[in-house]
Structure 1
Amino acid sequence: MASNLNLVRAKAAEASKVVAKNGSSYYKQLLEQNKQSIQEPPTVEKCQLLANQLFYTRLASIPGRYESFLKELDYVKHLWRNRRELKTEDVGIAALFGLECYAWYCVGEIVGRGFKITGYHV
């Protein structure tokens, strides 16, 4: 156990040296590449203004997203009414999608329990 801890410490020290050596140049390069996205002046007030704009823009987009959701729901209802005409491929894709959703749910539960399969702490 102690040897693993020393190994982790050595790796962390090595990583921090790399960041200290290259971090500043990477930061400058990143800002230069994305200067069109930087708002001037970079103040707290400007950040608050942008945060408010993002919030209210997203709030204003709710009716459009709700309308799109209703269209998707109508499509699913139509498919359900005409389920006898579905092709095997479509049913297979839907089954795989459902299986994937269930798998993500299971993985999320396992992660939420701290990667314990049974959920019990030993």
Structure 2
Amino acid sequence: MTSKLHMLLSKTAEASKFWSKYGNTYYKQTLEQNKKYIMDPPTIEKCQQLSNQLLYTRLASIPSRYDAFWKELDHVKQLIKTRKDLKTEDMGIAALFGLECFAWYCAGEIVGRGFTITGYYV
């Protein structure tokens, strides 16, 4: 156990050295590449305005997303009605999608329990 702790500490020190050496350069490069997205001057009022624009833009997109959802659901209902005509590939894709949803559910449960598999804290 102590060897793993020592290894973790050395890896952490390596990462810290890396970020102290290259982090500032990466930060400046990222800001330079995304300069068109930066509002000048960065005031509280401007941040609040952008926040409101994002919120109300998302709210305005709800009706179109709602309609798209019902179209997708109608398509799935139609597929279920004509399931005898489905190809094996389509059923395989549906099975993989279901398996992926289940895997994300399980991963979320594990994260919610604090990254424990059994649910008990060790």
Q: Rate the CA distance shift 1:26–1:82 in 2: closer, same or farther, 3 A.
A: same
Q: Rate the CA distance shift 1:36–1:88 in 2: closer, same or farther, 3 A.
A: same
1:115 and 2:100 matched: no
Instruction: Give the equivalent residue in structure 1 for 2:40.
Output: 40
Instruction: Give the equivalent residue in structure 2 for 1:85.
Output: 85
Q: How much has 1:65 moved relative to structure 2?
A: 0.4
Greater mean deviation of Cα atoms: 50-59 or 3-12: 3-12
Q: How much has 1:111 moved relative to structure 2?
A: 2.5
Residues in 2 aligned to 1:7 and 1:92: alpha-carbon distance in whole angstroms: 43
Q: Rate the CA distance shift 1:118–1:17 in 2: closer, same or farther, 3 A.
A: closer
Alignment of 1:1-122 (within 5 A): 1-122=1-122
Q: Which runs of 5+ in 2 are unaligned?
A: none
Greater mean deviation of Cα atoms: 70-79 or 102-111: 102-111
Helix, strand or coil at the partner of 2:109: helix
Q: Which runs of 5+ in 1 are unaligned?
A: none
Residues in 2 aligned to 1:89 and 1:17: alpha-carbon distance in whole angstroms: 50
**Percent of residue pairs bearing the same amino acid type:** 68
**Amino acid in structure 2 at the alignment position of 1:67:** D
Q: Rate the CA distance shift 1:42–1:121 in 2: closer, same or farther, 3 A.
A: closer
Residues in 1 aligned to 2:118 and 2:13: alpha-carbon distance in whole angstroms: 36
Structure 2 length-normalised TM: 0.84
Q: Rate the CA distance shift 1:65–1:48 in 2: closer, same or farther, 3 A.
A: same
Encode CA deviations 1:32-54: one digit per residue, 9 max, x unaligned: 11111111111111111111100
Residues in 1 aligned to 2:120 and 2:18: alpha-carbon distance in whole angstroms: 40
Q: Rate the CA distance shift 1:118–1:8 in 2: closer, same or farther, 3 A.
A: closer
Q: How much has 1:59 moved relative to structure 2?
A: 0.3
* C-alpha RMSD of matched pairs (Å): 1.9
Helix, strand or coil at the partner of 1:41: coil
